């Protein structure tokens, strides 16, 4: 297999490029979710975070209880 051109690039340059790519991918992903509406985008953000605090805040903001299908736990 051929060697990647990145093999000879400074790691700081690669890390900066990864950050830029990550930000662009996040923006694209979030904008696609927002096309479906704020609720959908908020739910996807909270789900993907895997963070219990954000789950709780999402549930509280939208008035969801454990009986609701969209309740995050």
Question: Cβ distance 61 to 53 under 8 Å?
Answer: no
Long-range Cβ contact pairs of 19-25 (< 8 A, separation 24 or more): none
pLDDT at 17: 97
- Residue 43: predicted pLDDT: 98
Q: What is the pLDDT of residue 14?
A: 97
Phi, psi angles (nearest 5°) of residue 26: -65, -45
Q: Cβ(46)–Cβ(72) under 8 Å?
A: yes
Q: Domain locations in the chain?
A: 21-73
pLDDT tens by residue, the chain, 73 residues: 889 999 999 999 999 999 999 999 999 999 999 999 999 999 999 999 999 999 999 999 999 999 999 999 9
């Amino acid at each position: 297999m051929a060697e990647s051109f990145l093999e000879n690039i400074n790691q700081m340059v690669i890390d900066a490029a990864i950050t830029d790519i990550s930000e662009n991918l996040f923006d694209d992903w979030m904008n696609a979710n927002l096309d479906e509406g704020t609720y959908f985008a908020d739910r996807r953000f909270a789900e993907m975070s895997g963070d219990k605090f954000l789950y709780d805040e999402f549930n509280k903001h939208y008035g969801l209880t454990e009986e609701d299908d969209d309740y995050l736990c």
